[in-house]
């Protein structure tokens, strides 16, 4: 907690991060500022981020910029990055990370929850490469689905509609999403964190996986790296793992790069 102070440009922002944990620990207490949107400045960024106090937003922010969960990507010095697809954009912190690293790239951000997507709009910089925001779930087969909201705003998960009165959200295939944003050519970076729906997505990836140059995906139980890699192999993907780690919640984070990419492919030990 004390070490995290170094990542905040202002002491007040760091103190807010501590207060945020208090709000989450006592969700029914009528504490001030709950559910308000606050601006936070990090030392790593020139512009502020927007965070909803008392939500899971701050966990995602610190995962991205304090714990640096995507550091294996940031260290690779990717060049000529034009198209980035972010599946499960949540509140847009990963989008800001991509804009910081690749300011000329166009972002295609997919997020099923309307309030999360609104936060994405706050957190992306409109003056950079451009962003196409899509409210949908990504899936192997197009249909109408609902959301399991039991895990908090950072773990909304796609599920089938069981009752007519449930909310309905479009589930779109990745080719449909790319067409809606008028994206053609290679996908220089694809990030996928969709809370279990990745099992369906990569079972049906043969039509588009060949366009992906760099891929980072979080796998959620019971979908394992063995299942995932077998689906890639069956689809004819030319992607090779260079970094893999297990997360505290039992999920797996895997980074892959196209085998014919000019950068050297290498495998790193689990951390």
| Residue 4 per-residue DSSP state | G
> Domain 69-137+173-258 is classified in which CATH homologous superfamily?
Vaccinia Virus protein VP39 (3.40.50.150)
Q: Is 104 exposed, middle or buried (0-12, 13-18, 19+ CB in 10 A)?
A: exposed
Q: How confident is the model at residue 263 (pLDDT cuts 50, 70, 90)?
A: very low
From 40-49, 159-168, 228-237, the region with the lowest mean pLDDT = 159-168
Q: What contacts 63, CB < 8 A, 6 or more positions away? A: 69
pLDDT of residue 269: 30
Helix axis angle for 93-101 and 114-123, nearest 10°, is: 30
Summarize pLDDT for 176-216 with one digit per residue, the tens.
Answer: 999 999 999 999 999 999 998 999 999 999 999 999 999 99
What integer best gives the mean pLDDT of the chain?
Answer: 91
pLDDT for residue 270 is more than 50: no
Q: Are 167 and 147 in contact (CB under 8 A)?
A: yes
What pTM was estimated for this model as a whole?
0.91
Q: Where are the domains of the chain?
A: 1-68, 69-137+173-258
Residue 262 has pLDDT above 70, yes or no: no
Residue 122 near residue 92, CB atoms below 8 Å: yes
């Amino acid at each position: 907690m004390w070490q995290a102070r170094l990542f905040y440009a202002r002491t007040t922002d760091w103190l807010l991060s501590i207060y945020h944990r208090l709000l989450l620990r006592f969700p029914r207490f009528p504490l001030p500022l709950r559910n308000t949107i606050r601006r936070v400045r990090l030392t790593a960024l020139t512009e502020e981020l927007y965070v909803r106090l008392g939500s899971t937003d701050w966990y995602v922010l610190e995962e991205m910029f304090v714990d640096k969960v995507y550091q294996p990507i940031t260290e690779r010095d990717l060049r000529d990055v034009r198209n980035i697809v972010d599946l499960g954009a949540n509140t847009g912190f990963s989008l800001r990370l991509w804009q910081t690293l690749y300011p000329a790239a166009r972002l295609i951000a997919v997020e099923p929850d309307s309030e999360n997507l609104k936060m994405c709009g706050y957190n992306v910089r409109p003056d950079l490469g451009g962003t196409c925001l899509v409210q949908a779930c990504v899936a192997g087969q197009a249909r109408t689905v609902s959301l399991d909201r039991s895990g908090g705003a950072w773990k909304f998960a796609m599920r089938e509609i069981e009752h007519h009165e449930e909310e309905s959200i479009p589930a779109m295939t990745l080719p449909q999403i790319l067409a809606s944003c008028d994206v053609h050519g290679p996908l220089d970076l694809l990030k996928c964190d969709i809370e279990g729906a990745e099992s369906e997505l990569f079972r049906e990836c043969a039509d588009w996986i060949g366009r992906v140059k760099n891929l980072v995906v979080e796998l959620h139980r019971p979908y394992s790296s063995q299942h995932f890699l077998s689906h890639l192999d069956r689809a004819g993907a030319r992607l090779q793992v260079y970094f893999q780690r297990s997360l505290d919640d039992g999920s797996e984070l895997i980074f892959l790069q196209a085998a014919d990419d000019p950068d050297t492919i290498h495998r790193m030990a689990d951390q």
